[in-house]
Structure 1
Amino acid sequence: MKNRYIFTVLSVLFCYVCIACQSQSDYVYSVKGETGDVTRALHESEPSRAEKNKRWKRGFAYVTKVIDGDTFWVDNGTESFKVRFIGIDAPETRNSRWKKKGYFASESKEYVRSKTEYQWVRLEFDVQAMDRYKRRLAYIYLEDGTFLNASLIEQGYAVVDTYPPNVKYVEQFIDLQKRARETKQGLWRKEPE
């Protein structure tokens, strides 16, 4: 009986490890663009560990997965970690214990995905480096210099949500949100139900 129990536990653990490894090592991804879906092998385009490390020393990280409109995973050549955008809150893409799926969530996520996934971004940190969920907190800049946090607010993909001490751009964010709301950009087009 004891051996059977141990075998069952080990089998379950083995399955869990296999599933976790599979989700971390997907070699194919899809991109939706104007011309439709394009599927590409990651190993063909993903930068080497050395390249990621080199770019990290200049402040850039490689985005590997977008979670929603204000969170993604990056790889710096040494480690992968989750980044939460400072000063904004995008609608949730799914229900959780704390929040319900939000209006305009899929549009927000898709906007961030189109701008960042499998691309380089520059991370700017503020006073507090991590939140209580162990996510790195950062302001995000695209390679062309676009300030993504501000762009998300300006186009109505996110709202201002600041927590001291990380308030470096709060006044800019508030002004952008006011304009987005007045001109009915993105999620301000209609009030959530």
Structure 2
Amino acid sequence: MKRLIIFFIVASLTAFSCNSKSGNRKAQSEQSEQSDKEGFLKVTKVVDGDTFWADDGSAKGKKIRLIGVDAPESRNVFKKKKGYYGEEAKNYLSNMFDGQSVRLEFDVDSLDQYGRTLAYIYLTDGTFVNADLVKNGYAMVMTVPPNVKYADEFVKYQQEARENNRGLWKMNNE
């Protein structure tokens, strides 16, 4: 009889423990899904082909600079002059972001000397924005250590864009 009682106690505790674990897994899963949704920011303004503002819930928003790429300037700013293909790069990025939210991926340094957030950017469909800009000739590779996670990939895409006269690389053949 004692064995039977002990068996029921152990069985009950095991069942309760399994229920509790699956409940925790469910809660963790829901929390993860919520975190994924929260990991996306709504783009509010494109500054140029490599910089934009996003709504991070603060009053001002977050100014974000794409890591590993440099698009020509779309306007005269301080000592920097408007560059060839700058307006096209800005328009291309604006069209990519139209109505989109983006996910940020960080490298070693997440802020630059101007206080901008440095990030690799992904659209909700998985498009890697930094790479796409280089592939299509709207930006050049600009590697600033220690943020070099995708540097080799970007160099490959830039070579491909140059060889195929895409975007700003057309200028050499016009």
- TM-score bracket for this pair, using the shorter chain length: 0.7 to 0.9
Aligned partner of residue 179 in structure 1, secondary structure: helix
Tell me how far 1:55 sits from its aligned partner: 6.3
Q: Which residue of 2 aligns with 1:138?
A: 119
Q: Is the 8 A contact 1:56 1:76 kept in 2?
A: no
Counterpart-to-counterpart distance in 1, 2:49 and 2:36:
23
CA RMSD of aligned residues (A): 1.9
Note the alpha carbon deviations across 1:6-60, whole angstroms, 9 max, x for none. xxxxxxxxxxxxxxxxxxxxxxxxxxxxxxxxxxxxxxxxxxxxxxxx6676421
Residue 50 of structure 1 aligns with which residue? none
Q: Shift of the alpha carbon at 1:94?
A: 1.2
Matched letter for residue 76 of structure 1: D
Q: Which residue is equivalent to 1:63? A: 43
How much has 1:97 moved relative to structure 2? 3.0
Do the aligned partners of 1:87 and 1:160 also contact (CA within 8 Å) in 2? yes
Give how far 1:117 is off: 3.9
Matched to 1:147, the amino acid is F
> In 1, Cα distance between the equivalents of 2:173 and 2:78?
19
Q: Does the aligned pair in 2 maintain the 1:55–1:61 contact within 8 Å? A: no
In proportion to residue count, which structure has more strand? 1
Q: Indicate how the Cα distance of structure 1 residues 55 and 71 shifts in structure 2: closer, same or farther if over 3 A, else same.
A: farther
Task: Give the AA of the match of 2:88.
Answer: E
Matched residue pairs, number?
140
Correspondence 1:1-193 to 2 at 5 A: 58-78=38-58, 80-191=61-172
Query: What is the alpha-carbon distance in structure 2 between the residues aligned to residue 102 and residue 93 of structure 1?
Result: 6
Cα offsets for 1:47-100 (capped at 9, x unmatched):
xxxxxxx66764211100000000000012245110000000001011223321
Q: Which structure has the greater CA radius of gyration?
A: 2
Identity of aligned residues (%): 55
Q: Please report the TM-score for the alignment, with normalisation by the length of structure 2.
A: 0.75
Unaligned runs of 5+ in 2: 1-33
Give unmatched runs, 5+ long, in structure 1.
Answer: 1-53
Question: More helix per residue: 1 or 2?
Answer: 2
